[in-house]
Chains A and B, each alone.
Chain A
Amino acid sequence: DAGVTQSPTHLIKTRGQQVTLRCSPKSGHDTVSWYQQALGQGPQFIFQYYEEEERQRGNFPDRFSGHQFPNYSSELNVNALLLGDSALYLCASSLRSVSNQPQHFGDGTRLSIL
């Protein structure tokens, strides 16, 4: 039973570029959440997708956008990259109908902005 998988593992971009990160949820899960974890910090919630719609959003600018596909996989897009966007980006999945179920996390994508 595959867990949450994220790609790529590492990515290096320069300021002003755009990036797309991908996430496949754990089998049987239908909800995907994205988090940004800066160095030495706890994860910060970016947004959550369910039924291909953004359901909840954290305090992130519109440069951060996402998408969920019919197979429940998800993408995180970041435009006009800034140095401060350097971080570990974590994807988590869960089953929306079971509200007390913990979220399962992938190993993340390490994004470095030069």
Chain B
Amino acid sequence: AQSVTQLDSQVPVFEEAPVELRCNYSSSVSVYLFWYVQYPNQGLQLLLKYLSGSTLVKGINGFEAEFNKSQTSFHLRKPSVHISDTAEYFCAVRVTGTASKLTFGTGTRLQVTL
């Protein structure tokens, strides 16, 4: 079975400051890794994904994430946040080579203020 841990339930940050949202996972088999964003009263929108290859992946809205196999982590970063980045962020994994279910973390609320 797979599991995902997002240690920070809330992350407050000032506009234009950098931010890192942490994600650690556990799995006995290889997984794909994803970050999704959820704005109020909306579904999930894909930010970025790691499938294979380069461990640094870039996504939409200036976000990037780095896959670290030895630490089983996939932290999300942005060098300068904007008010509009305020949302809930979810890290998720899925077993490679399958179209199987996503396993999500509990989410991190990013609150950007002036």
Contacts and interface: CB of A to CB of B under 8 A. Distances in A.
Q: Do A and B come from one complex?
A: yes
A102 B49 contact: yes
B101 A58 contact: yes
A99 B98 contact: yes
Nearest to A33: B101
B70 to A, nearest CB: 22
Interface of B: 4, 6, 32, 34, 36, 41-46, 49, 51, 90, 92, 96-107
Contacts of A35: 102
B109 to A, nearest CB: 9
B102 A45 contact: yes
A101 B102 CA distance: 12
A45 B103 contact: yes
5 contacts: A41-B107, A90-B43, A101-B99, A106-B43, A107-B41
A12 to B, nearest CB: 16
Contact of A103 (B51, B98, B102): B102
A42 B104 contact: yes
A79 interface: no
A4 B107 CA distance: 22
